[in-house]
Amino acid sequence: MNYIRFIQDNIPLILEYTKAHFSLVLWAVLISLVLWVPVGVLITRSEKWANRVLGIANTIFCIPSLSLFAVMVTIPFLGLGRRSALVALVLYAMMPLVRNVYQGVKVVDKSVIEAARGMGMNYWRILWEIQLPLATPVIFAGFRITVVMTTGIAAIATYIGERNLGRLISEGLTRFNIEMIVDGALLIAFIAIALDTMLGALEKKIVPRGLRVHRGH
């Protein structure tokens, strides 16, 4: 098999690319979480702001990734390289993360909040002990989409100087090397699936037990 031979012949290079790919995804996802989860929570307090922020997120999400990366490069402080790649990926993650956090917190049963407030729980307690735990399934769904999506889009960052698995595809295209293209695509897909599976397992641990049990069990 030529596909396997290609990998065997290029192990050091592929490892380097994989490492770079991973670290870009990891940083992008981390920054996105730190940034977008609080934003998602914050906008639950004002319908007006929620509409604005979600509007912006949707708009960004509609920009083709190649052009978003290209636009980043033109911004002085960012330039060619990792910073631009990170900013673009974090902006993409805004839509799935902010929207899911917002919806997850928003759809928590009003009567539960009403009762909690009536018992004297303050805003933060209600957020921390009720809204966020109850929102975990929805938030986690958004988180998994973000990770898979970021893994895929990170490949495009190769065009602005990232040396990652995307490079296999872009170089494969210029040299018309089928093995290179297919292997690059498969590796990226494999990483995405692996990450998603791991998160799925983690999700089972994090979602509160009471949300999983049902009458009769």
Contact residues for another protein, defined by CB under 8 A: 109, 111-122, 129-130, 133-134, 208-211, 213-217
DSSP state of 63: S
CB of 78 to another protein, least distance (A): 42
CB of 206 to another protein, least distance (A): 11
Residue 207 backbone zone (phi > 0: left; psi -120 to 50: alpha; other: beta): beta
CB of 136 to another protein, least distance (A): 9
Q: Which is nearer to another protein, 136 or 177 (CB)?
A: 136
DSSP state of 131: I
Q: Which is nearer to another protein, 11 or 204 (CB)?
A: 204
Q: Which is nearer to another protein, 62 or 119 (CB)?
A: 119
CB of 214 to another protein, least distance (A): 5
How far, in Å, CA of 178 to CA of 182, rounded? 6
Question: Alpha carbon of 74 to those of 27, 88, 189, 208: distances in Å?
Answer: 22, 12, 30, 45
Burial (0-12, 13-18, 19+ Cβ within 10 Å), 197 = exposed
Q: Which is nearer to another protein, 139 or 191 (CB)?
A: 139
